[in-house]
Amino acid sequence: MSYLLSATRLLTFTTCPRAYQFRYELKLPGRPLRTPQLGLALHRALQQFYRWPGAAAEGPSRAFLQTCWAGASARLEAPEQQRGAEILERYFQRHVSPLQGWRQPLAVEGRLKAPLAVEGERGIVELTIIGRCDRLEYLEPESSATGQTARLHLIEYKTGQLHRSPDTLKLDLQLGLYQIAIRHRYQASLAKVSHVYLAADEVLSYAVAPAQESASRAHALELVEQLLEAKDWACKSGPHCRTCAYRSYCPAWQDPPTALPTQALIGVKSLQLSLPLSSATIN
Ligand code: SF4
């Protein structure tokens, strides 16, 4: 069994080992966060839109997008339905109307999974990279002396606030891990990632450099080594605590903290007994 690794997991551990323990090792439910219903509905509508089954070169129409939205937004309140309809109308005008011909995406709401073996001082550790993408498209292939290399463009819809200066650590990890997973799944290189901020009507795009793959491997290995050695899951408090779903259990936030559910306490013991040094079997 290999250790599941995603950019979110890597980041959670880097941000706060204790939060990682609560979420992934003890699998605590955590304090429920507000569910962004409008965002979920927008994702669903675009997912259906880009799975358009037609074959016409001009692609799906505005009316089809409106139909997708009507289905996806059926449970929303009227003001949110209206807001979503406006957001999608702007999206259509900017991203669909100007297209010169329609090309079916390579994947919509695709799940990415790829094995990755990293070798360190403790031997070989087997990982499974996991992730998902909202949409994957072909870019023009790159020509070289040895032939043409397929290049892909990964698109993610963002329904929160626009961040012009994204967390560079988070971005590097995401790009590097996506690159590895996409090469494994599609035998192509990931050349570009775009974050489409739907409400703000802005797109931030990032070129992916080949060097990010090796950097991401090194970071993954470092993380696995740290996880294997993690004994006390130290609290790393900071501004991120304000949005931590587990803060009621955390001694750094609440004194005394809420007692952990019994099941979780059992998990703590078995966790420390189940860490082999040559391969990670935590999950
Ligand atoms: S409240 Fe802060 S220190 Fe405590 S687990 Fe959450 S992120 Fe870590």
For residue 223 and ligand 1, the question of a CB distance below 6 A is answered with no
User: Which of 63-77, 87-101, 213-227, 231-245 shows the lowest mean pLDDT across its residues?
Assistant: 213-227
Atom nearest to 16 CA in ligand 1: 8
Check residue 183 and give its pLDDT: 85
Q: Determine the distance separating the centroid of ligand 1 and the alpha carbon of 169, expressed in angstroms.
A: 19
pLDDT at 234 over 70: yes
The mean per-residue pLDDT over the stretch 234-253 comes to 92
Atom nearest to 19 CA in ligand 1: 5
Check residue 220 and give its pLDDT: 67
- pLDDT, tens digit, 9 for 90 and up, residues 163-220: 777 677 777 777 878 888 888 888 888 888 899 999 999 999 988 877 777 777 677 6
Please, what is the angle between helix 7-15 and helix 211-229, to 10°?
A: 50
Check residue 190 and give its pLDDT: 87
For residue 19 and ligand 1, the question of a CB distance below 6 A is answered with yes
SS (H, E, C) the chain: CCEEECHHHHHHHHHCHHHHHHHHHCCCCCCCCCCCHHHHHHHHHHHHHHCCCCCCCCCCCHHHHHHHHHHHCCCCCHHHHHHHHHHHHHHHHHHHCCCCCCCCCCEEEEEEEEEEEEEECCEEEEEEEEEEEEEEEEEEEEEECCEEEEEEEEEEEECCCCCCCCCHHHHHHHHHHHHHHHHHHHCCEEEEEEEEECCCCEEEEEECCCHHHHHHHHHHHHHHHHHHHCCCCCCCCCHHHHHCCCHHHCCCCCCCCCCCCHHHHHHHHHHHHCCCCCCCCCC
Structure token digits, residue 72 = 């996806």
For residue 247 and ligand 1, the question of a CB distance below 6 A is answered with yes
Tell me the three state secondary structure of residue 181: helix
Check residue 72 and give its pLDDT: 97
Check residue 277 and give its pLDDT: 31
Can you list the positions of beta strands (E) in the chain?
3-5, 107-120, 123-144, 147-158, 189-197, 202-207
Closest residue by Cα to atom 3, ligand 1, is 237
For residue 169 and ligand 1, the question of a CB distance below 6 A is answered with no
Cα gap 2→119, rounded to integer Å = 14
- Global pTM reads 0.78
Closest residue by Cα to atom 5, ligand 1, is 19
For residue 250 and ligand 1, the question of a CB distance below 6 A is answered with yes
- With cut-offs at 50, 70 and 90, classify the pLDDT of residue 33: low
Check residue 120 and give its pLDDT: 67
Check residue 159 and give its pLDDT: 85
pLDDT at 275 over 50: no
Q: Determine the distance separating the centroid of ligand 1 and the alpha carbon of 260, expressed in angstroms.
A: 14
Pairing of strands 147-158, 123-144: antiparallel
- With cut-offs at 50, 70 and 90, classify the pLDDT of residue 146: low
For residue 253 and ligand 1, the question of a CB distance below 6 A is answered with yes
User: Which of 32-36, 115-119, 125-129, 133-137 shows the lowest mean pLDDT across its residues?
Assistant: 32-36
User: Which of 75-84, 112-121, 160-169 shows the lowest mean pLDDT across its residues?
Assistant: 160-169
The mean per-residue pLDDT over the stretch 9-33 comes to 84
The mean per-residue pLDDT over the stretch 225-245 comes to 84
pLDDT at 24 over 50: yes
For residue 51 and ligand 1, the question of a CB distance below 6 A is answered with no
The amino acid at 258: T
- For residue 93, count other CB atoms closer than 10 A to its CB: 12
